[in-house]
């Protein structure tokens, strides 16, 4: 499913126009992005939890040359599915 298909599904499910569904999706994505950018986590009961995790600096290896490279520390988004979503996927 791509973004336009998701907008169509939201519009149909909520009985709203595609333009309104697009605004809703943009609002959700913006709110989620802002929440994670602050380092907070967002929990949607039954669906899952979005959070951020810190990855420490480490030494890696260039697969083409075998040369060691330094990989800097970074922050990455994480998603942990909720029990309801897991159960639905495993039916």
In order of their start, the domains of the chain are: 3-89 (4.10.520.10)
Helices (H) and strands (E) in the chain, counts: 3, 5
Q: How far apart are CA 28 and CA 48, in angstroms?
A: 15
pLDDT for 76 = 95
Q: How far apart, in Å, are the Cα atoms of 16 and each of 8, 44, 65, 67, 89?
A: 10, 23, 55, 55, 28
Kindly give the confidence (pLDDT) of every residue in the chain, 91 residues in length, as a single tens digit, with 9 standing for 90 and above. 999 999 999 999 999 999 999 999 999 999 999 999 999 999 999 999 999 999 999 999 999 999 999 999 999 999 999 999 999 999 9
Could you tell me the pTM of the whole model?
0.76
């Amino acid at each position: 499913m791509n973004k336009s298909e998701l907008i169509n599904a939201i519009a149909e499910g909520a009985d709203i126009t595609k333009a309104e569904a697009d605004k809703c999706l943009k609002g959700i994505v913006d709110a989620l992005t802002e929440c994670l950018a602050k380092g907070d986590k967002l929990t949607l009961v039954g669906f899952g939890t979005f959070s951020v995790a810190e990855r420490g600096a480490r030494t890696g290896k260039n697969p083409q040359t075998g040369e060691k490279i330094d990989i800097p520390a970074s922050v990455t988004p994480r998603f942990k599915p909720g029990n309801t979503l897991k159960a639905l996927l495993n039916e």
